[in-house]
Amino acid sequence: MPEILRAEWFDIRRENKDQLWQWLHSFFLKCILSQSGINWVAHYEIVPHPKTPYIRGAPPKKETKNLNIPQGQENLILTSASSAFVFFGPQNELNYIEKKNEANLSLRDNYRSAVFIEEEIINGPEQNKKPLGMGGPPAMQFGSYNVDDTNDDIELAKWYRGERFPRLSITRGMIRGRKLLSITGWAKHGVFWEFTEMEENEYSFEHRFIEADRGEDWNGRHVLEYVTHSPGSPHAGKRVWPK
């Protein structure tokens, strides 16, 4: 059964980090996890991008300049549910829990969220390391973005199926990849790339996809020519909870 994924991005001031992480990991996220309809919850610390081109030789990556979109990009919490009713149903428990704990939750700076449904799931070579539905992967990359024009949606859909998806089954360390579409949030499109590990010098997994070239010979535009990412996207990092 397809999962519904809520993504929550936020920053934390240095003086609040230890306190908020301890509370999130020892109480709040466990409370969320215990609710009916929740499959799993995972907290990731995002590795910042260096001041270098995102993909060498490719067009520059564009990010939205809309200052009304919160800029949070240091932490990402993913919550998987079995139905959108878990997040949006009348009198749902998550709203009650979050309202009850709004004092601590207010320590999250630059907070934004989005809820996504799955468009496609493609298994990678390490799929046996984390069967579907068994929790957040040890490492991941989560991208969220819009195309620049609605006509670009067709080319994007063809690019994923003609270039990116064929590579996932042989990408080093990959558990699975999910292409997502949003129910809420600024970004219409999302991707969730699940990995067994993240090396110390990595801030992105794009180089692994480049390594997995299968001679697809994509003849269309480079995807970076016509997509605009949310602040800091794509975000890659390691899971910090659960350990």
pLDDT, residue 2, reads 84
Region 68-96: mean pLDDT is 96
Q: Is residue 112 a contact partner of residue 233, using CB atoms and an 8 Å limit?
A: no
What's the whole-model pTM score? 0.96
Q: How does the average pLDDT of the chain come out, rounded? A: 96
Rounded to whole angstroms, the Cα distance separating 179 from 195 reads 15
Provide the pLDDT confidence category of residue 55 given band limits of 50, 70 and 90.
confident
Region 208-217: mean pLDDT is 92
Q: Which helix (H) or strand (E) holds 9?
A: strand 4-11
Rounded to whole angstroms, the Cα distance separating 69 from 98 reads 21
Per-residue pLDDT tens over the stretch 147-189: 999 999 999 999 999 999 999 999 999 999 999 999 999 999 9
Q: Is the pLDDT of residue 216 over 90?
A: no
Q: Is the pLDDT of residue 194 over 90?
A: yes
Write down the residue that tokens 């350990």 correspond to. 243
| Domain spanning 4-241, CATH class | alpha beta
Q: Which residues are registered as beta bridge partners of 44? A: 76, 239
User: Exposed, middle or buried by CB within 10 Å (0-12, 13-18, 19+), for 52?
Assistant: exposed
229 phi and psi angles, rounded to 5 deg: -85, 155
Give me the numbers of helices (H) and strands (E) for the chain, helices first please: 8, 10
Provide the pLDDT confidence category of residue 1 given band limits of 50, 70 and 90.
low
For a pLDDT cut of 70, what percent of the chain falls above it? 100
Per-residue pLDDT tens over the stretch 87-104: 999 989 999 999 999 999
Rounded to whole angstroms, the Cα distance separating 167 from 210 reads 9
The two beta strands, 227-229 and 62-63, are: parallel
Q: And the tokens for 162?
A: 């003609």
- Say which residue, 69 or 214, is predicted with more confidence: 69
